[in-house]
Structure 1
Amino acid sequence: MLIVYFSQTGRTQKAAMEVQKLTGAKLVRLQPKITYPTDYEQLIDIAKTEMRQDVRPALANTTIDLADETLIFVGYPTWWYQQPMIINTFFETYDLQHKAIILFSTSASTPVSEGLPVIKKVVTAAGAKVIDSFTANSKRNIKKFIEARQLDLRHNRALGL
């Protein structure tokens, strides 16, 4: 089991680390080859341009071993009701055929469900399947998600995997 995530401000990283704590999954942070600016206004300009132009930012880390993985958590901040374009880069770069994906996102105001139609198309095109999703804005939400499904993720017994 694996957790792959992108975090610009550290909020999604904290969520990913909490998922790791509860599941024992390996953790991989996606990083862009060209670092996003820390200035909020500059970041907005770049991120909106990427979305409008359907850009795929290059990944700095391109050696993620997915061969033995069947279940992958994918985490990201929600930007304008959808995933950052670097998440699309991940799905288009790696062989994700027959992988089960659990999506989680962080956002001040947008639940993960708002962007599901967009990201499900990306996941499906990669040959994977979204099996669940949750908004990961707090440790409580994350724990509730894991416990409510009685997922024994340490042994990939989630949903019969």
Structure 2
Amino acid sequence: MNLKDRKCLIAYFSRKGNNYVSGRIVDLPIGNTEVVAKMIQELTKGDMFHIEAVKSYPKDYTETTEVAQDELRVNARPELMNHVENMDSYDVIIIGYPNWWGTMPMPVFTFLEEYDFSGKIIVPFCTHEGSGLGHSERDIAKLCPKANVLKGLAIHGTAAGSAKTNISNWLDKMGIS
């Protein structure tokens, strides 16, 4: 499948600051998912969109995990700060997120339910600390049943900054770069 000539949007949710990396809490100036999204943007020349909830997550990592778990348990749909004005103009949506509790953060669910992805190609990627994509690909397919969801890429958070070759190979395999 050759997608190089298709209009591409890189939509991502990322959390900077207090994060769990390689067994300890560290302060990240840029979230791992954003690091990867920027590499994808450089390789594809696609447009970028940052998925952000109106209500920020706590600064403390443990508190954030508790809020995220509560949101997942009640199937929350946090309100988003911004919206894509011209989603119809995109053919390929590369969507990125950290793996939170085995799937995507709930603002990504909000994003995916906000638009009609019928006939679009969705290409997921996630950053994680050992849990890979979890069941996020299945969740995306359920939320966007009329889209073509391609095989995602899971990048260990510790390796995000050095993942450009893996990302490039994955995009080439998908026919995107």
Normalised TM-score (structure 1)? 0.85
**Matches of residues 26-41 of structure 1 in structure 2 within 5 Å?**
26-41=47-62
Which of the two has greater helix per residue?
Answer: 1
Q: 1:131 aligns with which of 133, 150, 154?
A: 150
Name the structure 2 match of 1:2: 9
**Greater share of strand residues, 1 or 2?**
2
Matched positions, count: 150
1:114 shift after superposition? 4.4
SS of the residue 2:117 aligns to: coil
1:69-109, Cα deviation, whole Å (9 max, x unpaired): 11110000001111111111001111222111000000010
Find the residue that maps to 1:36 and give its secondary structure.
Answer: coil
Identity %: 31
Stretch of structure 1 that moved more, 85-94 or 114-123: 114-123
Deviates more, 1:137-146 or 1:92-101: 137-146
Aligned partner of 1:98 among 119, 143, 148: 119
1:5-63 per-position Cα deviation (integer Å, ceiling 9, x unaligned): 00012110000000011111111101101111121121011100000000001000024
Segments of 4+ moved more than 3 angstroms: none
Question: What is the rounded CA distance, in whole Å, between the counterparts of 2:117 and 2:141 in structure 1?
Answer: 13
- Shift in Å, 1:115: 3.2
Q: Deviations over 1:94-146 (max 9, x none)?
A: 1222111000000010222543223321222xx32202311134223212212
Question: Which structure 1 residue ranges, 5 or more long, are not aligned?
Answer: 154-161
RMSD after superposition: 1.6
Q: Is the 8 A contact 1:82 1:119 kept in 2?
A: no
Describe the shift of the 1:150–1:72 C-alpha distance in structure 2 as closer, same or farther (beyond 3 A). closer
**Is residue 175 of structure 2 the alignment partner of residue 151 of structure 1?**
yes
**Gaps in structure 2 of 5+ consecutive residues:** 1-7, 17-30, 157-162
- TM-score (ref. length: structure 2): 0.78
Work out the CA distance in 1 between the residues paired with 2:37 and 2:88: 21
